[in-house]
Structure 1
Amino acid sequence: MRIELTSIFVDDQRAALAFYTDVLGFTKRHDIPLGEAAWLTVVSPEAPDGPELLLEPAGGHPAVKPYRDALAEDGIPLVQFAVDDVAAEHERLTARGVVFTQPPTDAGPVVMAVFDDTCGNLVQIVSPAA
């Protein structure tokens, strides 16, 4: 068993695609029209054949908004990405206009930080502590 695909709900698929590719640096994998939405996935350029992240429209189910609102209110990230160096990634993303809700924080075995993806989600980045 392996993870091939996971998803996050986004307010606007095109805006999410721009953020996840142009700002974060992911690569578009699939963009298949499905009526008003699309099967829209991105992958890490470091693992182009690795797991895909589906940018799923948030408006499709009534439970999505209360779920995401509750997570955001509690400061809980919806997704987590591994990076080599949280401090360096924090600096790179801040220079690109990304707003962090939690700066790099030493949490024992890892360093983590949390930012707003501008698409309705909090995202956590982590790296092993030095």
Structure 2
Amino acid sequence: MLREALNLWKDRISGHIDARDTERATLLSWPSKPQIQVDGDPVPYEYDKLIFAEYLQDRKVEAYFEIGQYMEGEEAKGSVTGVLSNGVEYESGAEYKQVPRSSLQGVIVIPSPLQVGDRLIVSRLTGQRYYVHGKDVRPDGG
């Protein structure tokens, strides 16, 4: 019975991030085949041992926008309305009667904030893997 309880406990915590067990690392290569050097470890960790938080990676958002034009006195003004793929609506401009001018559909790329040499906050997971939480923002970077 104790063995079953221990196995159940191990299953529940596999891959668990313990916030008290964070370490610092340096990003050695990015974005293809990322590699980090954890402070105090002699060998860098390769991309197959790393898991990066989603907000640290390049993100692509499909979007559809309509560009409108209206006159304010004799000055032409414009506005943009649109819908992103996740359902978020975007609107700019004033509430005037507008004439649709054109539409634009495409992908917005939000680039990763990471660069080679950045100091990172990481947590060790089971199986000698690391979860990368984000950049270390301490003033001394270390």
Q: Is the pair's TM-score, using the shorter chain for normalization, greater than 0.5?
A: no
TM-score, scaled to structure 1: 0.24
Which of the pair has more CA radius of gyration? Answer: 2
TM-score, scaled to structure 2: 0.23
Higher helix share: 1
